[in-house]
Chain A
Amino acid sequence: MDLSRYGVPFFVVVAVVALLVASPCLSRVLVWPRAEFFSELWVLGSNHMAEDYPFNVSSGQSYRVYLGIGNQLGYCAYYRIEVKFRNESQSMPSSFGAVEDRVPSDLPSLFNVSAFVADQNSWELPVTFGFDYEFNETLVQVGFNSMTFNDNVLGMSGESAGWNATTSRFYGDLIFELWLYSGSADNFGYHGRFVDLKLNMTV
Protein backbone atom coordinates (compact mmCIF):
# COMPACT_ATOMS: atom_id res chain seq x y z
CA MET A 1 0.00 0.00 0.00
CA ASP A 2 1.34 3.44 -0.93
CA LEU A 3 1.03 5.43 2.31
CA SER A 4 2.29 8.69 0.81
CA ARG A 5 -1.16 9.16 -0.77
CA TYR A 6 -2.68 9.33 2.74
CA GLY A 7 -0.02 11.65 4.19
CA VAL A 8 -1.91 14.92 3.73
CA PRO A 9 -5.28 13.69 5.10
CA PHE A 10 -3.52 11.96 7.99
CA PHE A 11 -1.67 15.12 9.06
CA VAL A 12 -4.77 17.27 8.54
CA VAL A 13 -6.63 14.99 10.96
CA VAL A 14 -3.69 15.17 13.41
CA ALA A 15 -3.64 18.99 13.13
CA VAL A 16 -7.41 19.26 13.70
CA VAL A 17 -7.22 16.98 16.77
CA ALA A 18 -4.21 18.96 18.08
CA LEU A 19 -6.14 22.23 17.63
CA LEU A 20 -9.16 20.78 19.42
CA VAL A 21 -6.98 19.68 22.33
CA ALA A 22 -5.26 23.09 22.36
CA SER A 23 -8.53 25.04 22.24
CA PRO A 24 -8.77 25.67 26.03
CA CYS A 25 -5.26 27.12 25.93
CA LEU A 26 -5.89 29.09 22.74
CA SER A 27 -9.12 30.54 24.12
CA ARG A 28 -7.06 32.21 26.84
CA VAL A 29 -4.18 33.30 24.64
CA LEU A 30 -6.10 34.50 21.60
CA VAL A 31 -8.28 37.04 23.41
CA TRP A 32 -8.54 40.53 21.98
CA PRO A 33 -7.32 42.80 24.77
CA ARG A 34 -9.82 45.29 26.17
CA ALA A 35 -8.74 48.73 25.12
CA GLU A 36 -11.55 50.90 26.48
CA PHE A 37 -12.31 51.20 30.15
CA PHE A 38 -15.28 53.30 31.15
CA SER A 39 -18.42 53.54 33.25
CA GLU A 40 -21.99 54.00 32.14
CA LEU A 41 -24.64 55.95 33.99
CA TRP A 42 -28.26 56.06 32.96
CA VAL A 43 -31.70 56.99 34.10
CA LEU A 44 -34.82 55.29 32.75
CA GLY A 45 -38.45 56.30 33.00
CA SER A 46 -41.17 54.65 35.03
CA ASN A 47 -41.70 51.94 32.37
CA HIS A 48 -38.04 50.98 32.50
CA MET A 49 -37.53 52.57 29.09
CA ALA A 50 -35.77 55.71 27.88
CA GLU A 51 -39.13 57.48 27.72
CA ASP A 52 -41.92 58.73 29.99
CA TYR A 53 -39.57 60.70 32.17
CA PRO A 54 -41.32 62.85 34.74
CA PHE A 55 -41.41 66.50 33.67
CA ASN A 56 -44.46 68.26 35.05
CA VAL A 57 -44.24 67.66 38.77
CA SER A 58 -46.57 68.71 41.55
CA SER A 59 -45.87 69.26 45.20
CA GLY A 60 -46.58 66.17 47.29
CA GLN A 61 -46.64 63.75 44.35
CA SER A 62 -44.23 60.84 43.88
CA TYR A 63 -42.43 59.90 40.69
CA ARG A 64 -40.52 56.77 39.74
CA VAL A 65 -37.34 56.46 37.68
CA TYR A 66 -34.59 53.84 37.47
CA LEU A 67 -31.00 54.80 38.01
CA GLY A 68 -28.32 52.48 36.61
CA ILE A 69 -24.56 52.08 36.43
CA GLY A 70 -22.55 49.85 34.08
CA ASN A 71 -18.99 49.02 35.05
CA GLN A 72 -16.49 48.47 32.21
CA LEU A 73 -13.46 49.62 34.18
CA GLY A 74 -11.76 46.23 34.34
CA TYR A 75 -12.12 45.93 38.11
CA CYS A 76 -14.78 45.83 40.78
CA ALA A 77 -15.69 49.48 41.42
CA TYR A 78 -17.07 51.46 44.33
CA TYR A 79 -19.25 54.28 43.05
CA ARG A 80 -21.14 57.02 44.77
CA ILE A 81 -24.03 58.85 43.19
CA GLU A 82 -24.49 62.33 44.57
CA VAL A 83 -28.04 63.59 44.33
CA LYS A 84 -28.21 67.34 43.77
CA PHE A 85 -30.89 69.82 42.87
CA ARG A 86 -30.33 73.05 41.00
CA ASN A 87 -32.41 75.83 39.58
CA GLU A 88 -31.59 77.55 36.31
CA SER A 89 -29.16 79.99 37.85
CA GLN A 90 -27.06 77.46 39.75
CA SER A 91 -24.01 75.57 38.55
CA MET A 92 -24.24 72.51 36.37
CA PRO A 93 -21.70 69.66 36.33
CA SER A 94 -19.79 69.05 33.11
CA SER A 95 -19.52 65.82 31.16
CA PHE A 96 -17.55 66.80 28.04
CA GLY A 97 -13.84 66.93 27.35
CA ALA A 98 -11.15 64.91 29.12
CA VAL A 99 -12.49 63.17 32.24
CA GLU A 100 -9.91 64.85 34.48
CA ASP A 101 -11.05 68.27 33.24
CA ARG A 102 -14.72 67.69 34.00
CA VAL A 103 -16.07 69.30 37.12
CA PRO A 104 -19.03 68.48 39.36
CA SER A 105 -21.66 71.00 40.32
CA ASP A 106 -20.51 73.03 43.31
CA LEU A 107 -23.89 72.52 44.97
CA PRO A 108 -23.99 70.42 48.14
CA SER A 109 -25.14 66.82 47.80
CA LEU A 110 -28.59 66.19 49.21
CA PHE A 111 -28.06 62.45 49.45
CA ASN A 112 -25.39 59.93 48.50
CA VAL A 113 -26.07 56.49 47.09
CA SER A 114 -23.28 53.89 47.25
CA ALA A 115 -22.99 51.30 44.52
CA PHE A 116 -20.55 48.40 44.31
CA VAL A 117 -20.42 46.98 40.81
CA ALA A 118 -18.33 44.04 39.58
CA ASP A 119 -16.46 44.39 36.31
CA GLN A 120 -18.67 44.01 33.23
CA ASN A 121 -21.75 44.09 35.42
CA SER A 122 -24.49 46.60 35.96
CA TRP A 123 -26.37 47.92 38.95
CA GLU A 124 -29.78 49.48 39.13
CA LEU A 125 -31.77 51.33 41.77
CA PRO A 126 -35.48 52.12 41.57
CA VAL A 127 -35.85 55.72 42.70
CA THR A 128 -39.06 57.22 43.99
CA PHE A 129 -38.83 60.94 44.51
CA GLY A 130 -41.09 63.86 45.17
CA PHE A 131 -40.95 67.48 46.27
CA ASP A 132 -42.67 69.56 48.87
CA TYR A 133 -42.76 73.17 47.69
CA GLU A 134 -44.86 76.29 47.80
CA PHE A 135 -45.49 79.05 45.32
CA ASN A 136 -44.42 82.48 46.53
CA GLU A 137 -46.60 85.00 44.71
CA THR A 138 -44.63 88.01 45.95
CA LEU A 139 -41.27 86.78 44.69
CA VAL A 140 -42.81 84.86 41.77
CA GLN A 141 -40.82 81.78 42.61
CA VAL A 142 -41.22 78.29 43.97
CA GLY A 143 -39.75 77.78 47.42
CA PHE A 144 -38.80 74.26 48.40
CA ASN A 145 -39.28 72.73 51.83
CA SER A 146 -38.05 69.20 51.29
CA MET A 147 -37.57 66.38 48.86
CA THR A 148 -38.25 62.70 49.40
CA PHE A 149 -35.83 60.25 47.88
CA ASN A 150 -36.68 56.59 48.47
CA ASP A 151 -38.35 57.33 51.81
CA ASN A 152 -35.52 59.62 52.92
CA VAL A 153 -36.69 63.15 53.59
CA LEU A 154 -34.04 65.60 52.42
CA GLY A 155 -34.11 69.17 53.65
CA MET A 156 -34.27 71.78 50.90
CA SER A 157 -35.19 74.90 52.83
CA GLY A 158 -33.75 77.98 51.18
CA GLU A 159 -33.83 76.38 47.73
CA SER A 160 -35.99 78.00 45.10
CA ALA A 161 -36.79 77.93 41.40
CA GLY A 162 -37.39 81.19 39.61
CA TRP A 163 -39.91 81.97 36.89
CA ASN A 164 -38.68 81.42 33.36
CA ALA A 165 -40.47 84.13 31.36
CA THR A 166 -39.55 82.59 28.00
CA THR A 167 -41.18 79.24 28.64
CA SER A 168 -43.53 80.36 31.43
CA ARG A 169 -42.30 77.66 33.75
CA PHE A 170 -40.49 77.10 37.03
CA TYR A 171 -37.59 74.86 36.12
CA GLY A 172 -35.67 72.62 38.46
CA ASP A 173 -32.98 70.11 37.64
CA LEU A 174 -32.52 66.88 39.58
CA ILE A 175 -28.92 65.81 39.06
CA PHE A 176 -27.26 62.45 39.67
CA GLU A 177 -23.47 62.79 39.60
CA LEU A 178 -21.23 59.73 39.42
CA TRP A 179 -18.22 59.64 41.73
CA LEU A 180 -15.61 56.88 41.85
CA TYR A 181 -13.64 55.70 44.86
CA SER A 182 -9.89 55.52 44.48
CA GLY A 183 -8.24 53.07 46.88
CA SER A 184 -4.81 54.66 46.44
CA ALA A 185 -6.05 58.17 47.21
CA ASP A 186 -8.61 56.85 49.73
CA ASN A 187 -11.28 59.27 48.53
CA PHE A 188 -13.96 59.80 45.90
CA GLY A 189 -13.35 61.79 42.75
CA TYR A 190 -15.88 63.06 40.24
CA HIS A 191 -16.04 60.46 37.49
CA GLY A 192 -17.06 62.95 34.83
CA ARG A 193 -20.56 61.61 34.29
CA PHE A 194 -23.97 62.78 35.32
CA VAL A 195 -27.58 62.39 34.29
CA ASP A 196 -30.32 64.81 35.11
CA LEU A 197 -34.06 65.23 35.02
CA LYS A 198 -35.30 68.64 33.99
CA LEU A 199 -38.50 69.28 35.89
CA ASN A 200 -41.28 71.80 35.59
CA MET A 201 -42.58 72.68 39.03
CA THR A 202 -46.28 73.17 38.44
CA VAL A 203 -48.21 75.45 40.74
Chain B
Amino acid sequence: MKIVALLLLLTLPLAGFVVVGYCSSEADARAAVAQASLRVSVCYSVAADAAKAGANVTGLLVMLDDAGLVLSRAELAFGRGEFDSASTLAHLCEEKLVGFEDGAVGLRDSAVRAGFLDFAFGVVGSAVGSVLVVVVGVVVWFCLKRRSAGKVV
Protein backbone atom coordinates (compact mmCIF):
# COMPACT_ATOMS: atom_id res chain seq x y z
CA MET B 1 0.00 0.00 0.00
CA LYS B 2 2.81 2.31 0.96
CA ILE B 3 4.59 1.54 -2.26
CA VAL B 4 1.48 2.38 -4.29
CA ALA B 5 1.09 5.67 -2.40
CA LEU B 6 4.74 6.46 -2.96
CA LEU B 7 4.41 5.68 -6.66
CA LEU B 8 1.34 7.91 -6.88
CA LEU B 9 3.19 10.72 -5.14
CA LEU B 10 6.06 10.38 -7.56
CA THR B 11 3.93 10.11 -10.70
CA LEU B 12 1.37 12.85 -9.94
CA PRO B 13 3.77 15.77 -10.54
CA LEU B 14 4.93 14.05 -13.72
CA ALA B 15 1.32 13.69 -14.92
CA GLY B 16 0.71 17.33 -14.07
CA PHE B 17 3.79 18.31 -16.05
CA VAL B 18 2.58 16.33 -19.06
CA VAL B 19 -0.89 17.91 -18.91
CA VAL B 20 0.52 21.43 -18.45
CA GLY B 21 3.02 20.77 -21.24
CA TYR B 22 0.26 19.60 -23.59
CA CYS B 23 -1.96 22.64 -22.84
CA SER B 24 0.98 24.96 -23.20
CA SER B 25 1.79 23.42 -26.58
CA GLU B 26 -1.79 23.95 -27.78
CA ALA B 27 -1.87 27.50 -26.48
CA ASP B 28 1.49 28.21 -28.08
CA ALA B 29 0.33 26.77 -31.38
CA ARG B 30 -2.91 28.78 -31.25
CA ALA B 31 -0.95 31.97 -30.51
CA ALA B 32 1.60 31.22 -33.24
CA VAL B 33 -1.10 30.60 -35.86
CA ALA B 34 -3.00 33.75 -34.82
CA GLN B 35 0.23 35.75 -34.94
CA ALA B 36 1.07 34.41 -38.40
CA SER B 37 -2.46 35.17 -39.61
CA LEU B 38 -2.19 38.72 -38.29
CA ARG B 39 1.20 39.12 -39.93
CA VAL B 40 -0.19 38.02 -43.30
CA SER B 41 -3.08 40.52 -42.92
CA VAL B 42 -0.71 43.35 -42.04
CA CYS B 43 1.57 42.55 -44.97
CA TYR B 44 -1.44 42.40 -47.27
CA SER B 45 -2.51 45.88 -46.11
CA VAL B 46 0.97 47.25 -46.82
CA ALA B 47 1.00 45.60 -50.26
CA ALA B 48 -2.49 46.96 -50.99
CA ASP B 49 -1.27 50.47 -50.10
CA ALA B 50 1.69 50.04 -52.45
CA ALA B 51 -0.63 48.82 -55.22
CA LYS B 52 -2.93 51.80 -54.63
CA ALA B 53 0.06 54.11 -55.05
CA GLY B 54 0.65 52.47 -58.45
CA ALA B 55 3.51 50.11 -57.56
CA ASN B 56 3.97 46.80 -59.34
CA VAL B 57 3.29 44.42 -56.47
CA THR B 58 3.52 41.14 -58.39
CA GLY B 59 6.60 40.03 -56.45
CA LEU B 60 5.01 40.94 -53.13
CA LEU B 61 1.86 39.00 -53.98
CA VAL B 62 3.92 35.92 -54.83
CA MET B 63 5.52 36.17 -51.37
CA LEU B 64 2.10 36.56 -49.77
CA ASP B 65 0.70 33.59 -51.70
CA ASP B 66 3.62 31.52 -50.51
CA ALA B 67 3.14 32.60 -46.90
CA GLY B 68 -0.63 32.11 -47.18
CA LEU B 69 -0.15 28.52 -48.31
CA VAL B 70 2.06 27.79 -45.31
CA LEU B 71 -0.49 29.48 -43.04
CA SER B 72 -3.23 27.24 -44.45
CA ARG B 73 -1.12 24.19 -43.66
CA ALA B 74 -0.50 25.53 -40.15
CA GLU B 75 -4.27 25.94 -39.64
CA LEU B 76 -4.85 22.44 -40.98
CA ALA B 77 -2.23 20.99 -38.62
CA PHE B 78 -3.76 22.90 -35.71
CA GLY B 79 -7.21 21.55 -36.58
CA ARG B 80 -5.80 18.03 -36.52
CA GLY B 81 -4.23 18.59 -33.12
CA GLU B 82 -0.67 18.52 -34.46
CA PHE B 83 0.39 21.51 -32.39
CA ASP B 84 4.13 21.23 -32.86
CA SER B 85 3.72 21.08 -36.60
CA ALA B 86 1.26 23.99 -36.49
CA SER B 87 3.71 26.12 -34.50
CA THR B 88 6.59 25.28 -36.84
CA LEU B 89 4.54 26.11 -39.92
CA ALA B 90 3.25 29.34 -38.38
CA HIS B 91 6.81 30.44 -37.66
CA LEU B 92 7.83 29.43 -41.18
CA CYS B 93 4.99 31.57 -42.51
CA GLU B 94 6.31 34.57 -40.58
CA GLU B 95 9.86 33.88 -41.77
CA LYS B 96 8.66 34.03 -45.36
CA LEU B 97 7.52 37.59 -44.73
CA VAL B 98 10.73 38.90 -43.20
CA GLY B 99 11.57 42.24 -44.79
CA PHE B 100 8.22 42.36 -46.55
CA GLU B 101 7.14 45.75 -45.16
CA ASP B 102 10.46 47.39 -46.06
CA GLY B 103 10.19 46.12 -49.61
CA ALA B 104 6.55 47.20 -49.90
CA VAL B 105 7.21 50.65 -48.46
CA GLY B 106 10.17 51.08 -50.84
CA LEU B 107 8.01 50.11 -53.79
CA ARG B 108 5.23 52.43 -52.63
CA ASP B 109 7.62 55.39 -52.26
CA SER B 110 9.11 54.74 -55.70
CA ALA B 111 5.60 54.55 -57.15
CA VAL B 112 4.63 57.82 -55.46
CA ARG B 113 7.73 59.54 -56.92
CA ALA B 114 7.11 58.03 -60.35
CA GLY B 115 3.46 59.08 -60.11
CA PHE B 116 4.46 62.63 -59.28
CA LEU B 117 6.88 62.79 -62.23
CA ASP B 118 4.27 61.20 -64.46
CA PHE B 119 1.71 63.76 -63.34
CA ALA B 120 4.17 66.66 -63.72
CA PHE B 121 5.28 65.68 -67.23
CA GLY B 122 2.32 63.70 -68.48
CA VAL B 123 -0.56 65.84 -67.28
CA VAL B 124 0.70 69.31 -66.40
CA GLY B 125 3.48 69.31 -69.02
CA SER B 126 1.23 68.16 -71.80
CA ALA B 127 -1.61 70.56 -70.84
CA VAL B 128 0.76 73.52 -70.63
CA GLY B 129 2.48 72.38 -73.85
CA SER B 130 -0.78 72.27 -75.80
CA VAL B 131 -1.75 75.75 -74.57
CA LEU B 132 1.70 76.98 -75.61
CA VAL B 133 1.24 75.45 -79.08
CA VAL B 134 -2.04 77.35 -79.50
CA VAL B 135 -0.58 80.63 -78.17
CA VAL B 136 2.53 80.33 -80.35
CA GLY B 137 0.32 79.48 -83.34
CA VAL B 138 -1.82 82.57 -82.81
CA VAL B 139 1.26 84.81 -82.29
CA VAL B 140 2.93 83.41 -85.39
CA TRP B 141 -0.26 83.91 -87.36
CA PHE B 142 -0.54 87.58 -86.34
CA CYS B 143 3.14 88.20 -87.00
CA LEU B 144 2.82 86.71 -90.47
CA LYS B 145 -0.31 88.71 -91.08
CA ARG B 146 1.37 91.95 -89.95
CA ARG B 147 4.41 91.27 -92.13
CA SER B 148 2.15 90.47 -95.06
CA ALA B 149 0.18 93.71 -94.47
CA GLY B 150 3.44 95.70 -94.30
CA LYS B 151 4.60 94.26 -97.63
CA VAL B 152 1.30 95.16 -99.25
CA VAL B 153 1.60 98.79 -97.96
- Listed in ascending order, the chain A residues whose CB lies under 8 Å from chain B are 1-3, 7, 10-11, 14-15, 17-19, 21-26, 28, 75-76, 78, 111-119, 123, 152, 154-155, 181, 183, 186
Main SS of the interface on chain A?
mixed
How big is the B interface, by class?
Answer: 35 or more
> Given contacts A3-B148, A116-B68, A154-B76, is CB(A76)–CB(B129) below 8 Å?
no
**Residues of B close to A18: CB separation below 8 A:** 130-131, 133-134, 137
Residues of B near any A CB (own CB < 8 A): 40-41, 44-45, 47-48, 51-52, 57-58, 61, 64-65, 68-69, 71-73, 75-76, 80, 121-127, 129-131, 133-134, 137-138, 141, 144-145, 148, 151
Instruction: Report the Cα distance A11→B45, complex, angstroms.
Output: 52
- Closest Cβ of chain B to A15, distance in Å, is 8
CA separation between A1 and B152, bound complex, in Å?
8
Out of A2, A19, A123, A183, name the residue touching B130 (CB < 8 Å).
Answer: A19
Given A3-B148, A76-B47, A186-B41, CB of A114 within 8 Å of CB of B127: no
How far apart sit A28 and B124, CA to CA, in the bound complex (Å)?
11
Cross-chain contact A76 with B61 (CB below 8 angstroms): yes
